[in-house]
Structure formats: structure tokens, C-alpha cells
């Protein structure tokens, strides 16, 4: 048996084949994963196919990539997942070759010439299949993190190539750095990491780094410019509902920094022992004093002191170690972020940790027999890959993922609220009601999450509870347009149109041409008796969205014909039908029919019969097909018999007729 690992480095084709095979092993079941959480936000963006106008315009590379997926696949999740996996495979190959090339540098005096390729491949494979990366790869919109990581690694790799060859590689490094910055703000840490990398492995000294200042300037220009733009354009925003910066209500710089000492150790634990992963950590407790976190803070301070010593002494191991903390700095330092922890933030730091471990173990492993070393690496890759397969199953449906989050973090109102909503969609109303009632009692409810919870309460038909809850949220955030819009909707649907006018006016000021806001405000003004204001608002609605009446009719009909509709939903359906008649005329047949269906479900059968009779007459005058007019006339008899327009009731009615 040989006393050292194999001397032949893996060829390019062999390495690519092995990485692709391991990627499919670990992520094959991710390709049928669902769109989850923020994925549904970008899917709902009307500008998804126009990235220059989309909500992701500040991350243009991601916006264009999602637009390309949409152009190719529409809303089929498989194409989006495949693009994420392809980027992850490319990043793993870059990491493997980067480790190989570093170990072959003159600094190591040929110690790894025979094994560098295998060490690099091992590092790439372990990182590739590690389950801590599932959130960055399987959660579609978190390609912000994984694609940023791909181009970040690409910039370092190109810079290394430039030091050994053509200066055109510096241009490639600059392009890759710009693409990384176009994915996520964390790319702003690249210049600092690149300086440490250059000093340790390329230049060998600070003087050597300074001689390459033009190259560093070219590569770092876009990330640094982006950092300045973010900083002065809103990073320290004081907006009332900011999610990053000093305007974040949940955290101060002090409490955020103290809590991060605990969060970082949690990240490290997941890197070494990746179990108990969860999507959402909104409920992470606030640490307000050093006494609460002193073991974590002391341990972290000791690690940072060792890393600082290594950087000062220009130790090779200090580069990936320092990079871990530099890359985490934008999200794990003193700048408050609403979500104190997210596993996808460890995508690149985990690559650094794996590279560090591979470098430290390369020497001892070279003195061991080859087959046991290869077997140990293979066993680790298989184990981690299996854990990744298991974790990816949680992403197979919203039901599984939200249930997993709610069970693991029961004090997380966002997790329980999301689970309640998916339970409602699955018809599990009793459990949904229990989950949402528990969620609204929990602390840490941001305004955005409170709106989501209020919407679920309303969807479950608990309108009075929803009004009480959102009133409390509105009292704390009276100028928030989203909270104001929901409060106005709830007040309108519960028969309080006069109270709904003021919050809906706040919403209109923020979104003056939004059809839904204009419809709700106009309906509230009409219900409050202010006909002049209502006429102006409905005129603005007709100008902003000429076909919105048809949308209202469709929604009203769908609600009125749903067995699951609660009285509050039916009252809103009647309001929609009334608004459609204001827009398209009081004798519009479709709007009259929708109004009749809603009134019948509410038990107002004489009014429903009258509306149905008028709808039939109007449809006949408008030249509707005879069979459709006949159906409208049939509804007159159905409503006169005091039966709603539901399948079972209609069948019974038809069966009772001679």
C-alpha cells in the first residue's frame, strides 16, 4: 500500500464529471422544489420580464437572470432550480481549482505538487454537497447569494491567473467582481479579501501588493462604488419600516452586535454539524447585555485575535480564516438587519472554512495511506450529500417547509403565520385558525409580517379579530401605506366605510394610481355618503385601469360561488359588484349578475331575485347568447325559492322542477 495519496492529479474532465455526478446526487430532488417565501414576491412582480423596472433592479444580474428564466420557462420552477444548481456546480469547480492553484504556489515550496489537485477536488466536493448550502441553492431567489459567491470566487481565480499570465485576466477579474456586486451587496468585501490573498499567495508582502495597485483599483472599483452608494443611499436609513440600518425597530447597533456573537457560533455549529436547519429565524432572542452572551463573545474575541495574529504574521491559513469574518461583516457586525440570521449568508464563508480545513489537513493526509484518506473523503461527501437530499425534501412543497419552520421555531410569528396560510389553502381551517391565533399573540411582529397575519385572519373569516389586531399595528405605524390599506379594507368589509376613508387615503397618497386602493377608497367614500369624493375617486380609477370593472366582477363571482366564502367575504363581493356597476354603468349585465350572486349568498333573496331579473333583461338587450340569458332567468327562480347559486342547491332546484 502506498504511503501517500495518488501522485496523479485528477484531469479536468474527470473532475467535472465527478462534481456533476455529486451535484445530481445531492440536489436531484431540488429540481421539483416549490417556489417559497420571497420567491412568490418576485413571481408576483408585474415587471418580472422587464428587469430594468423590477423590484430587483438594485441587483441587476439577479433581475436579468430571473427574467431569462421567465422567458424560457414561464413559472415552471424546474428551470429556475436548474439555473441555481448549474451556478453552484460552477462555483464548486472554481473553488476546487482555486485551492489547487494556491497549493501549487511557490510559497509552499512544492510540498503539494503531487496532491494539490486531489486536495482541491476534495474541498470542492465537500462544499458542493454540504447541506448548509441548500438555502442558497434550492431557495430560488437566494441565487442572490450563490451567484454572488460564484462571481466572487471567479474574481479571485482570475486575479490569481493574471499574476501568472496575461494581464487580460485582470479585466476578467474586474468583470467578475462587477457581476458579483450586481448580485448582492456582500460583494463589497471582495477588495479587502483580495488584498489579503495577494499579499499571502502572490506578492508576498505589502510592498508587492502596492505595486499592483492599478489592478486592485480596477477589480475593486465597482464593489467599492456600490458600497458607497448603498451606504449613503439608505444603509443607515431612518425610514419607519426599514429592514436594514438604524431605522430597524427590532435592533440597535449594540443589541445586534451582541446577538451576532451567538449567531456566528450557530453558523459555525451548522458548518460542522449540519442538523436542525430552519428557513426563518425571525424569533431569535435579542441580547441586550454582554452578560447574556459572554461565553460566545469571549470565544469569538479569542478566535479573532488568533486570526489577526495570523494576518499580521502573513500566515497562509489566516487568509481563508479572515475571509470568513470579512464576508460575514455586512450582515454580522453592528449594522442592524431585521432578520438577524439566515443560513444562506454562510454560502461563501463555508467555502472559506472548507478551504481552510483542506489546507490544514493536506499535510497530515499526505503522510497517510491513500485509500483510507480517499475513503474518508468519499464517506464524508456521501453523508453530507444524503443530509442535503433530506433537507431538499423540505423544499418540495410550501406545506412541508412552513410546517418544518413552525415546528422548529414555534415562537416565530412569521413562520407560524405562513404555516397558517398554507393550512388555510389546504382546507385545514381549524388548525390554521389555531396557528394564526397563536401567531398574532407572539412578539417580534414586524409591520410587514403583521399585514400577512391580518390577511390570513381575514381569509379565515375572522374579520373582527383581524380589525382589532390591525388597529393595534396601525396605531404603531399610522403612516405605513400597506398597514393602512389593509385596515381600510377590513373596515370596509365589516361595514365601517366612514372609518375606512382615512387609512385608505394614506394608502392612496403612497400609491395614487393603484386600482385596488382606488376601488376601496371610492367604495368607502360612497358608503360614508360622500358622493362627490367617490365620483372623483372612481373617475381616477377608470382612467388608471379602464378594464378594472371586469376584474371586480370576476373576483365577486368567484367569491359568491365559493362554498368556503365567509359572510365578510360575501359582503366584500357585494361591494365589488357595486363598484363595477359604478364603473361600467348601473345596468351592466355582468355586474348585476355578480351582485345578485353575492346578495343571494348573504340571504338577501328578494334583492338577489330583482338583480338577477334586471341582469337577464340587460343581457338580452345587449345581445347575449340565448342560453346565457336563459341561465340568468333561471337564477331568478332559484333566488325566489330562497336558494343560493351553489352546485348542490342548483341541482336540488332543477330536480324539483316539473
- Give the pLDDT confidence of 593-642 residue by residue, as tens digits: 999 999 999 999 999 999 999 999 999 999 999 999 998 998 898 899 99
Is residue 598 included in any domain, yes or no? yes
C-alpha 54/C-alpha 539 separation (Å) is 28
Place of cell 481552510: 356
Is residue 79 included in any domain, yes or no? yes
Listed residues 419, 436, 460: the one ending a domain: 460
Q: 568, 463 in Cβ contact below 8 A? A: yes
Q: What is the DSSP letter of 367?
A: T
**Do 564 and 437 lie in a common domain?**
no
Is residue 494 included in any domain, yes or no? no
C-alpha 492/C-alpha 571 separation (Å) is 9
**Do 102 and 175 lie in a common domain?**
yes
**Do 115 and 228 lie in a common domain?**
yes
Listed residues 379, 394, 409: the one ending a domain: 394
Pick from 38-42, 84-88, 126-130, 645-649: least confident: 645-649
**Do 313 and 383 lie in a common domain?**
yes
Cell output for 492: 370596509
Is residue 469 included in any domain, yes or no? no
Helix (H, G, I), strand (E, B) or coil at 558: helix
Residue 386's nearest CA partner among 145, 29, 102 is 29
**Do 229 and 333 lie in a common domain?**
yes
**Do 386 and 441 lie in a common domain?**
no
Q: Say how many Å lie between the first and final Cα of the chain, rounded.
A: 95
- What mean pLDDT is predicted for residues 348-370? 93
- What mean pLDDT is predicted for residues 3-31? 82
Q: What is the DSSP letter of 204?
A: -
**Do 354 and 321 lie in a common domain?**
yes
Phi, psi of 244 (to 5 degrees): -140, 135
**Do 585 and 565 lie in a common domain?**
yes
Place of cell 365601517: 496
C-alpha 405/C-alpha 114 separation (Å) is 46
Q: 414, 449 in Cβ contact below 8 A? A: yes
Domain total in the chain: 3
Is residue 64 included in any domain, yes or no? yes
Count Cβ neighbours within 10 Å for each residue of 557-591 and write b for 16 or more, e otherwise: bebbbeeebbebbbbbbbbbbbbbbbbbeeebbbb
Provide the Cα torsion 315, 316, 321, 322; round to 10°: 70
**Do 438 and 379 lie in a common domain?**
no
With a cut of 90, say whether residue 48 has pLDDT above it: no
Tell me: the pLDDT tens digits for 196-206? 999 999 999 99
| pLDDT of amino acid 657 | 65
Tell me: the pLDDT tens digits for 236-293? 444 445 566 656 777 889 999 999 999 999 999 999 999 999 999 999 999 999 999 9
Is residue 496 included in any domain, yes or no? no
Is residue 363 included in any domain, yes or no? yes
Residue 171 to residues 154, 175, 209, Cα–Cα distance (Å): 12, 6, 17
**Do 196 and 316 lie in a common domain?**
yes
Exposed, middle or buried, 221 (CB in 10 Å: 0-12/13-18/19+)?
middle
Residue 463's nearest CA partner among 431, 495, 438 is 495
- What mean pLDDT is predicted for residues 517-545? 95
| 282 Cβ neighbours under 8 A, 6+ residues apart | 338, 339, 409, 412, 413, 414, 415, 444, 446, 449
Q: Which residues pair with 337 in a beta bridge?
A: 244
Cell output for 476: 404603531
With a cut of 60, say whether residue 2 has pLDDT above it: no
Listed residues 378, 394, 410: the one ending a domain: 394
Cell output for 582: 359604478
**Do 301 and 416 lie in a common domain?**
no
Q: How many other β-carbons are positioned within 10 Å of the β-carbon of residue 214? A: 10
Is residue 525 included in any domain, yes or no? no
Percent helix, strand, coil in the chain, to 5, is 75, 0, 25
Tell me: the pLDDT tens digits for 110-122? 899 889 999 999 9
Q: Percent of the chain having pLDDT more than 70?
A: 95
The pLDDT mean for the chain works out to: 91
- What mean pLDDT is predicted for residues 478-499? 93
Boundaries of domain holding 30: 12-394
**Do 427 and 386 lie in a common domain?**
no
Q: 450, 469 in Cβ contact below 8 A? A: yes
Amino acid at each position: 500500500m502506498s504511503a501517500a495519496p495518488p501522485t496523479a492529479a485528477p484531469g479536468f474532465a474527470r473532475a467535472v464529471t465527478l462534481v456533476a455526478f455529486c451535484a445530481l446526487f445531492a440536489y436531484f430532488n431540488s429540481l421539483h422544489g416549490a417556489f417559497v417565501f420571497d420567491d412568490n414576491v418576485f413571481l408576483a412582480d408585474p415587471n418580472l420580464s422587464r428587469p430594468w423596472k423590477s423590484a430587483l433592479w438594485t441587483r441587476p444580474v439577479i433581475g436579468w437572470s430571473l427574467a431569462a428564466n421567465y422567458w424560457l420557462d414561464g413559472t415552471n420552477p424546474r428551470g429556475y432550480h436548474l439555473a441555481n444548481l448549474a451556478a453552484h456546480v460552477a462555483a464548486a469547480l472554481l473553488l476546487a481549482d482555486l485551492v489547487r492553484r494556491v497549493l501549487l504556489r511557490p510559497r509552499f515550496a512544492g510540498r503539494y505538487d503531487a496532491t494539490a489537485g486531489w486536495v482541491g477536488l476534495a474541498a470542492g466536493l465537500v462544499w458542493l454537497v454540504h447541506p448548509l448550502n441548500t438555502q442558497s441553492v434550492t431557495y430560488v431567489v437566494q441565487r442572490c447569494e450563490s451567484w454572488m459567491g460564484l462571481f466572487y470566487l471567479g474574481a479571485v481565480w482570475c486575479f490569481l491567473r493574471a499574476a501568472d499570465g496575461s494581464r487580460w485576466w485582470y479585466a476578467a477579474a474586474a468583470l467578475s467582481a462587477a457581476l458579483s456586486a450586481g448580485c448582492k451587496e456582500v460583494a463589497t468585501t471582495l477588495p479587502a479579501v483580495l488584498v489579503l490573498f495577494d499579499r499571502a499567495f502572490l506578492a508576498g508582502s505589502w510592498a508587492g501588493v502596492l505595486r499592483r495597485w492599478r489592478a486592485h483599483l480596477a477589480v475593486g472599483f465597482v464593489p467599492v462604488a456600490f458600497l458607497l452608494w448603498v451606504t449613503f443611499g439608505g444603509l443607515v436609513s431612518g425610514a419607519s419600516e426599514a429592514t436594514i440600518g438604524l431605522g430597524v425597530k427590532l435592533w440597535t447597533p449594540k443589541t445586534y452586535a451582541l446577538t451576532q456573537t451567538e449567531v456566528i457560533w450557530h453558523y459555525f455549529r451548522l458548518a460542522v454539524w449540519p442538523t436542525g436547519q430552519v428557513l426563518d429565524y425571525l424569533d431569535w432572542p435579542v441580547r441586550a447585555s454582554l452578560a447574556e452572551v459572554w461565553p460566545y463573545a469571549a470565544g469569538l474575541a479569542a478566535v479573532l485575535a488568533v486570526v489577526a495574529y495570523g494576518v499580521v504574521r502573513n500566515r497562509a491559513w489566516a487568509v481563508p480564516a479572515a475571509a470568513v469574518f470579512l464576508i460575514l461583516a455586512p450582515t454580522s457586525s453592528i449594522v442592524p438587519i431585521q432578520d438577524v440570521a439566515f443560513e444562506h449568508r454562510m454560502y461563501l464563508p463555508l467555502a472559506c472554512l472548507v478551504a481552510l480545513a483542506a489546507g490544514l489537513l493536506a499535510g497530515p493526509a499526505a503522510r497517510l495511506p491513500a485509500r483510507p484518506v480517499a475513503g474518508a473523503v468519499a464517506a464524508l461527501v456521501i453523508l453530507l450529500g444524503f443530509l442535503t437530499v433530506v433537507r431538499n425534501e423540505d423544499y418540495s412543497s410550501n406545506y412541508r417547509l412552513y410546517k418544518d419552520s413552525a415546528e422548529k421555531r414555534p415562537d416565530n410569528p412569521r413562520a407560524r403565520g405562513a404555516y397558517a396560510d398554507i393550512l388555510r389553502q389546504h382546507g385545514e381551517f381549524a388548525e390554521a385558525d389555531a396557528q394564526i391565533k397563536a401567531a398574532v399573540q407572539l412578539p417580534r411582529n414586524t409591520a410587514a409580517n403583521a399585514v400577512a397575519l391580518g390577511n390570513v385572519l381575514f381569509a379565515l373569516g375572522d374579520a373582527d379579530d383581524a380589525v382589532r389586531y390591525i388597529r393595534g399595528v396601525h396605531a404603531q405605524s399610522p403612516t405605513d401605506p400597506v398597514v393602512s390599506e389593509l385596515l381600510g379594507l377590513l373596515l370596509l368589509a365589516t361595514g365601517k366605510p366612514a372609518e375606512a376613508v382615512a387609512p385608505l387615503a394614506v394608502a392612496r397618497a403612497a400609491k395614487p394610481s393603484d386600482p385596488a386602493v382606488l376601488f376601496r377608497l371610492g367604495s368607502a367614500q360612497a358608503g360614508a355618503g360622500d358622493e362627490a369624493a367617490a365620483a372623483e375617486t372612481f373617475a381616477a380609477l377608470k382612467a388608471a385601469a379602464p378594464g378594472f370593472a371586469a376584474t371586480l366582477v370576476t373576483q365577486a363571482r368567484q367569491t359568491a360561488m365559493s362554498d368556503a366564502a365567509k359572510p365578510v367575504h360575501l359582503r366584500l363581493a357585494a361591494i365589488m359588484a357595486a363598484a363595477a356597476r359604478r364603473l361600467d354603468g348601473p345596468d351592466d349585465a355582468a355586474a348585476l349578475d355578480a351582485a345578485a350572486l353575492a346578495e343571494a349568498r348573504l340571504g338577501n333573496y328578494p334583492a338577489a331575485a330583482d338583480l338577477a331579473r334586471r341582469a337577464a333583461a340587460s343581457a338580452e338587450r345587449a345581445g347575449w347568447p340565448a342560453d346565457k340569458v336563459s341561465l340568468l332567468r333561471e337564477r331568478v327562480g332559484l333566488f325566489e325559492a330562497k336558494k343560493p347559486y351553489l352546485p348542490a342547491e342548483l341541482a336540488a332546484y332543477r330536480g324539483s322542477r316539473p
